Amino acid sequence: MAITHVTQATFEQEVKNCAGAVLIDFWADWCMPCRMMAPTFEALAEKRADVKFCKVNVDEDPGLAMAYGIDAIPAFVLVKGGAAIDKAVGVMDAGQLEAFLEANL
**Bridge partner residues of 51 (DSSP):** 21
Q: Is 54 a catalytic residue?
A: no
Sign for the pseudo-dihedral over CA of 63, 69, 72, 75 = negative
Assess whether 18 carries a catalytic annotation: no
Q: Which of 3, 14, 28, 31 is an active site residue?
A: 31
Catalytic residue among 15, 34, 58, 97: 34
Residue 84: CA count within 13 A, CB half-sphere: 14
CA angle 78, 7, 36 (to 5 degrees): 60
Q: Please count the residues of the chain.
A: 105
Residues labelled catalytic: 31, 34
